[in-house]
Every structure is written in structure tokens, then in C-alpha cells.
Amino acid sequence: MLDLTEQQQYLSELGARLKILRLARNDTMAVFAQRLEVSEGTLRAMEHGAATVQIGAWVKALWVLDHLEDLSGVLAQKESLLERARAPRRRNRQRASRRAG
């Protein structure tokens, strides 16, 4: 189970990456917050890794930064053990031994 410190670490790292990308665009907090349609306080909370920020603000940030496709794998259905067991198995072909000549 993910404990609170691990959760905070992930959110802090995400916030730090957001800040780096914002600064790489030379956007001030005011300009970037306006692009995200959030307040500067919300953007500051995002950059500090606050767990209280709505996911919609993060989705908008990913869209503005052209990283929205990064969400495509989140919560994607994984293959179950039953599906794996039912899948046809490929047999590895064994090479014939070389003849001594």
C-alpha cells in the first residue's frame, strides 16, 4: 500500500517537473496559470506537490505542455492471469545439431 510519504514524494516530483517545463517555456506563474485556467495559488500548489489539486488542472497542464498522451497508459486494462493462460504459446524451435564432418 502506498503510504503518505511515498504519495507526497511522487506528487512533489511531478510538481517539480511541471515547474521545470513551465520555466523552459519562459512562462511566468501568472501567464501559465492563465493558460491552465487556474489561479496562481493552484499552480503554486501543483508545483509544490499538493494532493488537494483537482485532476482536471493536471490534465489541462498536460494538454498545454503537449504531454496529454502520457495519460493513455494510466489505468489501462492489464492482461489477467486467465487470459495469459488461454493465450496460445509459441514454441521455441530448437536448432538441429551440427554434424561433424
Specify whether the CB–CB gap between 64 and 27 falls below 8 A: no
Q: Say what the pLDDT of residue 1 is.
A: 66
pTM value?
A: 0.71
Instruction: Name the band, by pLDDT with cuts 50, 70 and 90, for residue 38.
Output: very high
Mean pLDDT score of the chain, rounded to an integer? 88
Q: Could you give the domains of the chain?
A: 4-69 (1.10.260.40)
* 59-101 confidence digits (pLDDT tens): 999 999 999 988 888 777 777 777 777 777 766 667 777 776 6
* 26-35 confidence digits (pLDDT tens): 999 999 999 9
Cell of 52: 488537494
SS (H, E, C) the chain: CCCHHHHHHHHHHHHHHHHHHHHHCCCCHHHHHHHHCCCHHHHHHHHCCCCCCCHHHHHHHHHHCCCHHHHHHCCCCCCCHHHHHHCCCCCCCCCCCCCCC
